[in-house]
Structure 1
Amino acid sequence: MRKYVIIGAVGSGKSTHSELLARDLDIVHISVGDIFRWHVKNHTKLGAQVRRTMAAGELVGDDLAESVVRDRLTQHDWNYGFVVDGFPRSRRQTEFFLESYDIDGVIHLDLPDEEVRRRVLARRLCNGCGMDYNLIADRPTQEGRCDVCGGELVSREDDTEQALAERLREYHERTDPILELFGRKEYVVTIDARPGIEEVQRTLRERLGLPLP
């Protein structure tokens, strides 16, 4: 069984690299952001709370994030392990995670702020089927329209200059203590997230001693 945590600023490729690991290692990808977005899209009570928080460029509180992760992991569909993307985001969440689960490795995707801004402000989301696009590397065939369902492509509510600046500030304040805690257990591998997907994936697998793609 393999259990990993992947940490990085918004736009660093956490979801992409988590999905690749999950597919090839037959483990479960648990994206806390995707769980929150599902609640927002389906207009649940939790979703309304998350939507207000994300629109303000703030991070979801510890109690709510821990509750979501705990509930997800009680489903026990991760017989061969998991890779968690988007959690923990604070010292308290890290302590909760270390006490609750034996982690095999923490992947830190390191990306400079200017590259974060470039990538994030180019993101688009289909308002019909939820398909993700990036106008830098994954443009739709028809400008502004989803290739899958033809829906309109829009920016996420939290992908604004103001919200991004706040998220980056909070991210840096919180991430150093998290990496320090995980680092005490010698879990952390830091990967330069600027190269292409294939190169980053190959590097992180080499560092973790995993089969190459």
Structure 2
Amino acid sequence: MRKYVIVGVQGSGKGTQSLLLARDLDLVHISVGDVFRWHVQNRTKLGALVRRTMAAGELVGDDLAERVVRERLDQHDWNHGFVIDGFPRNRRQAEFFLESYDIDGVIHLDLPDAEVRRRVLARRLCSGCGLDYNLIAHRPEREGRCDVCGGELVSREDDSEEVLAERLRLHHEKTDPVLELFRGKEFVVTVDARAGVDQVQQAIRERLGLPPHRP
């Protein structure tokens, strides 16, 4: 069984790299952000709280984040292991995670702030089916329209210059200490996330001693 945490600033490719690992190693990909977005899209009480928080560029509170993670991992559908992204985001969450779960490694995707801005501000989301696009790497065939359902492509509420600047500040303030904590107790590998998707995935595999990535 393999259990990994993947850490990186918004736009560093955590979701993409997690999915590649999960697919090839038969792991369950747990995206805490996707769980929160599901609640927002389905207009649950939790979703209303998350929406207000994200729109302000703030991070979801510790109690709520820990509850969501615990409930998800308590489903025990990860027979061969999991890779979790979007958690932990601060020292308290990291301490909670280390006390509650054994993990085999922490993957740190390192990305400069300037590249984060370039990537994040190019992201689009289909207002109909929710499919993700990126105007740099994954452009739609018809400008502004989803290739699958024809829905309008829109920016996420938290993908604006002002909100991004605040999220970057919070990331460095809150998440950087998480890596220091993990480095003292867990195996941390840092990978340059500026390269292409396949190159980053291969670097992750090499650092963790895993079978090579085959695109």
TM-score, normalisation: structure 1 = 0.99
In structure 2, distance between residues paired with 1:90 and 1:70: 16
Q: Deviations over 1:185-211 (max 9, x none)?
A: 241101000000010000010000011
Tell me which amino acid in the other structure corresponds to 1:11.
G
Structure 2 counterpart of 1:51: 51
Q: How do 1:69-108 and structure 2 match up within 5 A?
A: 69-108=69-108
In structure 1, distance between residues paired with 2:58 and 2:166: 7
**Secondary structure class of the residue paired with 2:146:** coil
Give yes or no for contact 2:4–2:107 (8 Å, CA) kept in 1: yes
**Secondary structure class of the residue paired with 2:168:** helix
In structure 2, distance between residues paired with 1:188 and 1:106: 5
Q: How do 1:132-147 and structure 2 match up within 5 A?
A: 132-147=132-147
Deviation at 1:84, TM superposition (A): 0.4
Tell me which amino acid in the other structure corresponds to 2:172.
H
Moved over 4 A (4+): none
- After TM superposition, the structure 1 stretch with the greater mean CA deviation from structure 2, 180-189 or 20-29, is 180-189
Give structure 2 stretches of 5+ with no counterpart: none
Give yes or no for contact 2:32–2:84 (8 Å, CA) kept in 1: yes
Structure 1 counterpart of 2:31: 31
Q: Deviations over 1:17-75 (max 9, x none)?
A: 00000000001000000000000000000000000000000000100000000000000
- CA-based RMSD: 0.5
Structure 2 counterpart of 1:196: 196
Structure 2 counterpart of 1:207: 207
Q: How do 1:62-73 and structure 2 match up within 5 A?
A: 62-73=62-73
In structure 2, distance between residues paired with 1:204 and 1:69: 24
Tell me which amino acid in the other structure corresponds to 1:88.
P
- After TM superposition, the structure 1 stretch with the greater mean CA deviation from structure 2, 29-38 or 184-193, is 184-193
Give yes or no for contact 2:5–2:85 (8 Å, CA) kept in 1: yes
Give structure 1 stretches of 5+ with no counterpart: none
Between the two proteins, the alignment pairs up a number of residues equal to: 213
**Secondary structure class of the residue paired with 1:77:** coil
**Secondary structure class of the residue paired with 2:143:** coil
Structure 2 counterpart of 1:4: 4
Tell me which amino acid in the other structure corresponds to 1:131.
L
Deviation at 1:174, TM superposition (A): 1.1
Paired-residue identity, %: 79
TM-score, normalisation: structure 2 = 0.98
